[in-house]
């Protein structure tokens, strides 16, 4: 569905709607990504993939919380060498920007996986420097300004496609890390990954997740994510993809007003259904028309005005 009212240009990527599939939710196979595209997503981000295959954690890996999910899936993935075939196939099916999420245990690993993903056809990469539940990667890199700078610089030097960096909320000052990522060469930022969390079963008297600690997602984290987008918008000039608890058009509008140029939708796909993208797009369209705007871009960051 083409609609100029909702079109956004994000670091050179053209999105017909400002709603993208968040990494990790339903996103590995090309055929499934095509179904999500058909439901109105303006861009698709895969589950994170690394240089070598990873099994992930044993069950239970996901637990329902009030107004959200706590997950510690453990980054299961087939490794970039095997996944390149799926990337190449996906590119033959998909029309919207196709973004591969990458993680690594060193700057070299991030760069290698990013290079292979883009050579196989990915339109952009998103660096997962924010997963809160796997040691020596994710937020252990993204929360450390020096490591974050090294990873972003190294990937940027090897990449000829847009580079998106996904930030963690589990830090003292997310704006400071956003600034580090932007100065190191990020073309856009995803704000945020999951919030560190824990679930305990009163009957068994033990933590529920096999990994004990996990990351909270869904409506419960929306106010945190909104605050992070608001803070980052005040500090950096590059586009922001807002992420965290977006379930309907009103949530999406709030993120845009806070400073996001587009939003990502994750948990709502598990708790609602795939029509969430169409519903957000339709709702945003009605909202923009009613308020007299000609482009969704006009409301980005508007809540910062005095
Ligand atoms: C089951 C599950 C798996 C996830 N896997 C990844 C992942 O592989 N890489 C990543 O960057 N984020 C991952 N995330 C985080 C989401 O992309 C998103 O940042 C987070 O869930 C907040 O958005 P939401 O509230 O819309 O779900 C995962 C989230 C969930 C619930």
**Eight-state DSSP code of residue 134:** S
Among all residues, which ones are annotated catalytic?
Answer: 131
Q: How many CB atoms lie within 10 A of CB 261?
A: 23
Protein residue with its CA nearest to atom 12 in ligand 1: 23
Structure-token match 């400071």, residue found: 176
Beta bridge partners of 98: 44
Q: Is the CB of 24 under 6 A from ligand 1?
A: yes
Q: Is the CB of 19 under 6 A from ligand 1?
A: no
Structure-token match 């945020």, residue found: 192
For a pocket test of ligand 1, which of 266, 268, 270 has the largest count of ligand atoms closer than 8 A to its C-beta? 266
What Å distances lie between residue 279 and 10, 218, 241, 306, CA to CA? Answer: 21, 17, 19, 31
Protein residue with its CA nearest to atom 2 in ligand 1: 24
Q: Which atom of ligand 1 is nearest to the CA of 130?
A: 11
Give pTM, 2 decimals: 0.97
Tens of pLDDT along the chain (306 residues) come to 445 999 999 999 999 999 999 999 886 799 999 999 999 999 999 999 999 999 999 999 999 999 999 999 999 999 999 999 999 999 999 999 999 999 999 999 999 999 999 999 999 999 999 999 999 999 999 999 999 999 999 999 999 999 999 999 999 999 999 999 999 999 999 999 999 999 999 999 999 999 999 999 999 999 999 999 999 999 999 999 999 999 999 999 999 999 999 999 999 998 888 999 999 999 999 999 999 999 999 999 999 987
Closest CA to 15 of 277, 210, 234: 277
Q: Is the CB of 225 under 6 A from ligand 1?
A: no
Instruction: Count how many residues are written for the chain.
Output: 306
Instruction: Assess whether the previous peptide bond of 60 is cis (omega < 30° from 0).
Output: yes
Q: Is the CB of 23 under 6 A from ligand 1?
A: yes
Structure-token match 């974050």, residue found: 148
* Ligand 1 geometric centre to CA of 292 (Å): 34
Structure-token match 């580079």, residue found: 163
Q: Which atom of ligand 1 is nearest to the CA of 245?
A: 25
Q: How many CB atoms lie within 10 A of CB 83?
A: 24
Q: Which atom of ligand 1 is nearest to the CA of 126?
A: 11
Q: Quickly count helices (H) and strands (E) in the chain.
A: 10, 16
């Amino acid at each position: 569905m083409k609609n100029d009212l909702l079109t956004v240009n994000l670091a050179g990527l053209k999105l017909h709607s400002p709603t993208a599939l968040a990494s990790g939710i339903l996103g590995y196979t090309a055929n499934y990504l095509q179904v999500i595209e058909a439901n109105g997503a303006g861009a698709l981000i895969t589950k994170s993939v690394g240089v070598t295959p990873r099994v992930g954690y044993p069950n239970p890996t996901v637990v329902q919380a009030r107004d959200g999910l706590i997950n510690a899936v453990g980054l299961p993935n087939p490794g970039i060498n095997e996944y390149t075939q799926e990337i190449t196939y996906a590119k033959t099916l998909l029309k919207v920007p196709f973004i591969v999420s990458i993680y690594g245990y060193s700057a070299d690993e991030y760069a290698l996986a990013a290079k292979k993903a883009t050579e196989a056809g990915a339109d952009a990469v998103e660096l997962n420097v924010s997963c809160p539940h796997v040691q020596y990667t994710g937020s252990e890199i993204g929360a450390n300004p020096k490591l974050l700078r090294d990873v972003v610089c190294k990937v940027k030097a090897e990449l000829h496609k847009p580079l998106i960096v996904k930030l963690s909320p589990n830090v003292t000052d997310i704006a400071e890390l956003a600034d580090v990522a932007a100065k190191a060469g990020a073309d856009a930022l995803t704000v945020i990954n999951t919030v560190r969390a824990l679930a305990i079963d009163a009957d068994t008297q033990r933590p529920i997740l096999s990994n004990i600690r996990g990351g909270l997602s869904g409506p419960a984290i929306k106010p945190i994510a909104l605050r992070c987008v608001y803070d980052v918008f005040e500090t950096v000039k590059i586009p922001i993809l807002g992420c965290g608890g977006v379930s309907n058009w009103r949530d999406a509008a709030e993120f845009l007003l806070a400073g996001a140029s587009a939003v990502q939708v994750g948990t709502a796909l598990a708790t609602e259904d795939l029509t969430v993208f169409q519903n957000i797009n339709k709702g945003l369209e009605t909202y923009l028309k009613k308020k007299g705007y000609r482009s969704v871009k006009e409301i980005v960051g508007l809540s910062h005005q005095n």
